[in-house]
Amino acid sequence: MTTASARPLMSRQLYGARPSAPAPAPARRLHPRIREGGLLVLPAEPHQVRVARRFARRLTAGWGIDEECLADLLLIVGELTADSALHGGTEMSVRIWLAGPELCVEVTDTGAPSHLSGSAVTDDGERARRLELVARLSDWCSVDRAPLRRRVRAGFGVVRCSEG
């Protein structure tokens, strides 16, 4: 009897719902064409860039992506996570997914910008260079800014990866 009354209380504490409230709707897939994907959330710190690249390599290992395409992906992930680590907030997330014939990357940093000192601080020119490099490697690139959040997305066709 104690267990039965503890469950609703625990649900209310964890999910913020009242016992009489309807259950939340199941999560929808973002896009019906998404075949594979993954998400990694890290502290926005320069030494985490290597972790993000390793995540990208391991995630895409079974996707049939050739080495040239994988090199582009790893460079994009490295540049965007380095930018987030140096200029962004306190946390960054890396999302990679395969949607139809397109490989997509999203790096988001959130939180108040950290104030790094010394050689870790770079100028706006380097930030622009990073985004220009990502734009050249990808078929499309977008930047979305909001208070305490910045998201950069890029994508390129997997078809070109298998071309000679």
CA 134/CA 15 separation, integer angstroms: 39
CATH for 25-162 is 3.30.565.10
Tokens of 66: 């050739």
CA 66/CA 44 separation, integer angstroms: 29
Question: Tell me, what's the pLDDT at 128?
Answer: 82
Question: Tell me, what's the pLDDT at 7?
Answer: 37
> 82: which residues sit within 8 A by CB, 6+ positions away?
46, 49, 130
In 51-138 the beta strands, taken as DSSP E runs, fall at: 91-99, 102-110
Q: What percent of the chain has pLDDT over 70?
A: 68
Question: Tell me, what's the pLDDT at 3?
Answer: 39
Question: Domain segments of the chain: what residues?
Answer: 25-162
Question: Tell me, what's the pLDDT at 82?
Answer: 94
Question: Tell me, what's the pLDDT at 111?
Answer: 84
CA 161/CA 74 separation, integer angstroms: 14
Q: State the burial class of residue 15 (Cβ atoms within 10 Å of its Cβ: 0-12, 13-18, 19+).
A: exposed
In the chain the first and final C-alpha atoms are separated, in Å, by 68
Question: Tell me, what's the pLDDT at 123?
Answer: 59
DSSP string, 5-57: HHHHHHHHHHH---TTSPPPPPPPPS-TTEEEEEEEEEES-GGGHHHHHHHHH
3-state SS class at 123: coil
CA 79/CA 133 separation, integer angstroms: 8
Question: Tell me, what's the pLDDT at 9?
Answer: 36
Question: Tell me, what's the pLDDT at 5?
Answer: 39
Question: Tell me, what's the pLDDT at 126?
Answer: 77
Question: Tell me, what's the pLDDT at 124?
Answer: 67
Render each residue's pLDDT in the chain as its tens digit; 164 residues. 433 433 333 333 333 334 444 444 444 444 455 568 999 999 999 999 999 999 999 999 888 888 888 999 999 999 999 999 988 889 999 999 988 888 999 999 998 776 554 444 445 677 788 889 999 999 999 999 998 899 999 999 875 454 44
